[in-house]
Chain A
Amino acid sequence: MAQAAAVAKQPAPPRWRRGSATPRRLPYLLIAPAGLLMLGFIAYPVISVFYYSLQNYNPTKPWRNGFAGFDNFAHAFTADPQFWDTLTFSAKWVVVEVGLQLLLGLALALIVNQTFVGRAAGRALVFSPWAVSGVLTSAIWVLLYNSQTGITPYLADAGIGQYGTSWLSDTSTVFPAAVVADLWRGVPFFAILILADLQSVSKDLYEAAEVDGASRLRQFLHITLPHLKDAIVLSTLLRAVWEFNNVDLLYTLTGGGPAGETTTLPLYIANTSVDAHNFGYASALTTVAFVILLFCSIVHLRLSKFGGGDK
């Protein structure tokens, strides 16, 4: 909008010409460092992953290396039950995590957006886990879930769970336990993004709605929610991609166990490539993951008609 018009009427103030960069070359010069870095360390690796996905490539078994066509993909889809298990777990993980984070984050943002005594401190405290790393989150929750040293004996006293079980090593409790640990850090992220957007809702709208006698529920449904739509769309997408890709937490919290119960696709890929050295197969799995992410993101943005009209 505004900048298009501004760019059009650039009658090149003479001062520019003193520098070596003429205005026509300037944008490219400015973008070059970022472009080169991304070309070298994202684009090239991505392409090489695509390339290796069609190869048998295992440095520990060099005699079998070479062009494999779509064998890797065929193996994944037809002969590798673990691939399907990890894929289902990834889907379950992302849907549950992002769904709960969205609901709780929205609620939290609505609460701390109101004025109350101690708001600044309250905000700082409830948002603080957001800054904590995946590994640290794991460390904390490993302590908490430990059957001897954790909080589980106290919860058992209160009738939640039973004595002596470590929640992370039991197949029946590991999923909720991991979800809660990740929620602890994930909810603040949503709350911050949503809160940021809540601040820009014009107060006049609520005042007008009040004059018209709209209930608070109706105000929420007809003013707040529509306003938050773009923020919600963007943050769910970012978070879903992040939850899918992130391996820090589960790698250190459960290591994918017990019995592969919490292995996401990226974790499986990391294990396949780093531990089993099967780079070809890992690359094929990576390609599948990338395509899935891209596809889901496009569908997500289309369905939500994100940024329609703007730009």
Chain B
Amino acid sequence: MITEDVTVSAPAAPAPAAERPRRRPGAKRRAWDEVPRWHIYLPLGVYLLFTLIPFYWILLFALRPAGSTSLVPWPMTFEHFDKVWTERSFGTYFQNSVLIAVATLVMTTVVALAGGYALARFDFRSKRGFMLALLCSQFVPGALLLVPLFQIFARLRMINSLGSVVIAETVFQLPLSMILISGFIRNVPYSLEEAAWVDGCGRFTSFRIVVLPLLRPGLIAVGSFAFVHAWNHFLFALMFLSDQGKQTIPVGLNTLMSADSVDLGALAAGGIIAAIPVVVVFAFIQKWLITGFSAGAVKG
């Protein structure tokens, strides 16, 4: 493909490839530069409104006092946050969600890294079959496996333990993560590893020293996916955790929504608490995300 050379260098250079040739002196960039800017700003502005109004709305309800109808959250109050955090036990939910999401991140990354390496660097019997299984597993609806999964966890005496949710989330993250990671590893030239062996490194040492640093953007992308998914996903926690003190943030939000009289301030504050970790992760990984994708996923 035409793009081969561009993508190979991608994981090593986090800066988007498009950035580079932009300011080349004397290059003919006229057709792109002469576009009147409103071509960009107008549609982008409209889309931004669509994106941001919902965010603003939830912020408004979270910050203004109950009963106020003002469109500006002033005077600002944090009573809703206080209430949700203590009375609605979002503090506990938050802790559980963090535990689940971090454990899922670690498990997914480690297991997918090992599997992805095998897929990228070896030819072994049943590799084809395994790849096919990975693909097929994408069509298995997680929601539809609730009952058998519930039975399995019941037999393992894991109902009502956070571990059940971690396993379920990890398993459903694995196929895509492994495909992505094996894509990233393929983009690291094999000769680099061979060179390290010649210098006397073992396979694991050479992997750690040579390949792993180059995989960082990809791993960050995969790990944050796993984190965000586990943080956001709702059904497994709802089904496998019956104990109030074991619940997660999305389940707490759903409880707030389906309560008889919906406390909108609490709902909005809970929503913001739910969004904060994801927003932080997202802001942190944003620049790696696009490179990570272009290096791995899309090239299949």
The chain A residues found within 8 Å of chain B, CB to CB, are 2-4, 6-7, 13, 15-16, 18-19, 23, 26-28, 30-31, 33-35, 37-38, 40-46, 48-49, 52, 107-108, 111-116, 122-129, 131-136, 138-144, 146, 149-151, 184, 192-193, 195-203, 205-207, 210-211, 216, 227, 230-231, 234-235, 238, 241, 244-248, 251-252, 255, 266, 269-270, 273-274, 279, 282-283, 286, 289-290, 293-294, 297, 306-307, 310
Contact = CB atoms under 8 A, between A and B. Distances in A.
B75 interface: no
A197 to B, nearest CB: 5
B233 interface: yes
Most chain B beta-carbon neighbours within 10 Å: one of A34, A52, A196: A34
Interface string B1-36: 111001100100000111001100001101110010
A120 B123 CA distance: 41
A38 B147 contact: no
B297 interface: yes
A128 B51 contact: yes
Given A111-B43, A131-B282, A283-B147, A143 B58 contact: yes
A151 B57 contact: yes
Contacts, number: 318
Contacts of B189: 2
Contacts of A203: 18, 21
A144 B27 contact: no
B253 A139 contact: yes
Main secondary structure of the interface of A (DSSP, over half): helix
A124 B231 CA distance: 20
A232 B167 CA distance: 31
Given A132-B278, A140-B54, A282-B147, A31 B130 contact: yes
B226 interface: no
Main secondary structure of the interface of B (DSSP, over half): helix
A31 B291 CA distance: 26
B31 A216 contact: yes
26 contacts: A6-B190, A13-B198, A19-B203, A27-B122, A27-B127, A33-B115, A38-B133, A41-B168, A42-B172, A46-B148, A111-B47, A129-B51, A129-B54, A133-B231, A136-B250, A136-B271, A136-B274, A146-B264, A198-B18, A230-B299, A241-B138, A266-B141, A270-B146, A273-B146, A286-B145, A307-B300
Contacts of A151: 53, 57
Contact of A286 (B54, B136, B144, B275): B144
Pairs A-B, 5 closest by C-beta atoms: A133-B232, A45-B148, A196-B293, A34-B115, A30-B118
Contacts of B278: 131-133
Nearest to B120: A3
A113 B220 CA distance: 22
B145 A2 contact: no
Given A126-B48, A135-B254, A150-B57, 11 more contacts: A34-B174, A37-B170, A42-B171, A45-B149, A135-B234, A193-B293, A199-B294, A200-B294, A210-B28, A231-B298, A238-B138
A114 B9 CA distance: 22
